[in-house]
């Protein structure tokens, strides 16, 4: 899983889009190392788009945290984010690896 800020520190849609680009660039790097990258935001946003923006709080973190329960390791990217830190905590609680640099991840 790739964990990082999406709304944290983002005051505009453009800043959220840039945060998402950071997550997706990291996911591409994880893919190129032979792993299947998962980003909670990318799982939640389509459902929020259908349900409506007013459902953001109901869907975003619960979906992201549920995705964290189904992954084997986490790459933490970007700056401060309570949501990303909650995802990281899920991995640590389960004794699974948390990486902070793509170079720490082995190729398969």
Output the pTM of the full model. Answer: 0.95
How far apart are the C-alpha atoms of 56 and 61, rounded to whole Å? 9
Q: Which two tokens stand for residue 97?
A: 């690896």
Q: Three-class SS of residue 38?
A: coil
pLDDT given at position 12: 96
pLDDT given at position 85: 98
pLDDT given at position 81: 97
pLDDT given at position 89: 98
- Domain boundaries, given as residue ranges, for the chain: 2-103
Task: For domain 2-103, give the fold.
Answer: Rossmann fold (3.40.50)
Please give the chain's pLDDT, 108 residues, in tens: 999 999 999 999 999 999 999 999 999 999 999 999 999 999 999 999 999 999 999 999 999 999 999 999 999 999 999 999 999 999 999 999 999 999 999 999
18 Cβ contact partners less than 8 Å away, ≥ 6 residues apart: 10
How far apart are the C-alpha atoms of 30 and 14, rounded to whole Å? 24
DSSP per-residue letters across 57-68: HHHHHHHHHHHH
């Amino acid at each position: 899983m790739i964990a990082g800020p999406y709304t944290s520190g983002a005051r505009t849609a453009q800043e959220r889009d840039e945060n998402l680009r950071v997550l997706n660039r990291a996911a591409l790097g994880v893919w190129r190392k032979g792993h299947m990258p998962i980003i909670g935001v990318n799982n939640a946003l389509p459902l929020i788009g259908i349900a409506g923006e007013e459902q953001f709080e109901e869907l975003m973190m619960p979906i992201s945290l549920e995705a964290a329960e189904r992954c084997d390791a986490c790459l933490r990217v970007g700056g401060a984010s309570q949501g990303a830190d909650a995802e990281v905590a899920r991995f640590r609680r389960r004794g699974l690896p948390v990486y902070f640099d793509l170079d720490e991840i082995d190729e398969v």
